[in-house]
């Protein structure tokens, strides 16, 4: 085996987990919701987090997708309870260079997924 083919094999090895990571993300439904879906998500969260706003949740979703998957794959938003997300985001926000308000908006959005998963 010459040097060039060895490099090509190493390259494919690096690429595979990246591709798998992207494939996993699409079934988490992390894309921008329609305005109707966004309102439903907001209404679900309001009783528990009355400060949540539509705009804040919009920001929270996009920051989650942009910032929380840089060190590890993005966790499934429906995989944890609201209480657990609150703690995890407080712990992780400084790692992602986010302040507590930015973190709280991420939790507002994650809460809508956590509550939907609980059947609320
Ligand atoms: C700078 C790198 C970095 C960034 C950015 C980051 N994380 Fe993490 N995260 C880690 C490391 C390292 C661990 C494993 C060690 C730990 O749990 O503290 C981890 C673990 C986790 C866990 C698993 C905890 C468990 O054991 O169940 C969750 C959930 C999580 N991160 C969520 C987030 C969220 C949400 C964000 C965005 C606000 C985020 N992470 C951004 C580095 C990062």
Asked if residue 52 and residue 8 are part of one domain, the reply reads no
Q: Distance of CA 19 to CAs 12, 24, 101, Å?
A: 10, 9, 32
Asked if residue 65 and residue 16 are part of one domain, the reply reads no
Q: List, for residues 61-120, the tens digit of each pLDDT value.
A: 999 999 999 999 999 999 999 999 999 999 999 999 999 999 999 999 999 999 999 765
**Ligand 1 site, residue 115, Cβ cutoff 6 A:** no
Q: What's the CA-to-centroid distance between 92 and ligand 1, angstroms?
A: 5
Query: What one-character DSSP code corresponds to residue 101?
Result: H
Asked if residue 73 and residue 42 are part of one domain, the reply reads yes
Asked if residue 38 and residue 16 are part of one domain, the reply reads no
Asked if residue 41 and residue 25 are part of one domain, the reply reads no
Distance between CA atoms of residues 10 and 46, nearest Å: 49
Asked if residue 86 and residue 69 are part of one domain, the reply reads yes
> What stretch of H or E contains 19?
helix 3-26
Supply the pLDDT for residue 12.
53
Contacts of 65 (CB under 8 A, 6+ apart): 30, 74
Asked if residue 41 and residue 1 are part of one domain, the reply reads no
User: Which residues span the domain enclosing 8?
Assistant: 1-29
Asked if residue 44 and residue 3 are part of one domain, the reply reads no
Asked if residue 42 and residue 21 are part of one domain, the reply reads no
Among protein residues, the one whose CA lies closest to atom 23 of ligand 1: 88
Q: List, for residues 10-61, the tens digit of each pLDDT value.
A: 555 555 455 555 444 567 889 999 999 999 999 999 999 999 999 999 999 9
Q: What's the CA-to-centroid distance between 71 and ligand 1, angstroms?
A: 7
> How many domains does the chain contain in total?
2
Asked if residue 8 and residue 18 are part of one domain, the reply reads yes
The CA-CA-CA angle for residues 85, 90, 96, to 5°, reads 105
Asked if residue 95 and residue 40 are part of one domain, the reply reads yes
Distance between CA atoms of residues 120 and 117, nearest Å: 7
Q: What's the CA-to-centroid distance between 27 and ligand 1, angstroms?
A: 20
């Amino acid at each position: 085996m010459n040097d060039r083919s060895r490099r090509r094999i190493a390259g494919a090895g690096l690429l595979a987990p990246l591709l798998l990571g992207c494939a996993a993300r699409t079934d988490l439904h992390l894309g921008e919701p329609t305005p109707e879906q966004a309102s439903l998500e907001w209404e679900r969260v309001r009783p528990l987090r009355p400060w949540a706003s539509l705009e804040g949740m919009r920001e929270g979703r996009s920051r989650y997708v942009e910032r929380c998957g840089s060190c590890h794959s993005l966790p499934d938003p429906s995989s944890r309870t609201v209480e657990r997300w609150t703690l995890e985001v407080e712990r992780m926000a400084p790692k992602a260079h986010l302040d507590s308000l930015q973190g709280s908006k991420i939790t507002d959005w994650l809460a809508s997924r956590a509550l939907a998963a609980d059947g609320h």
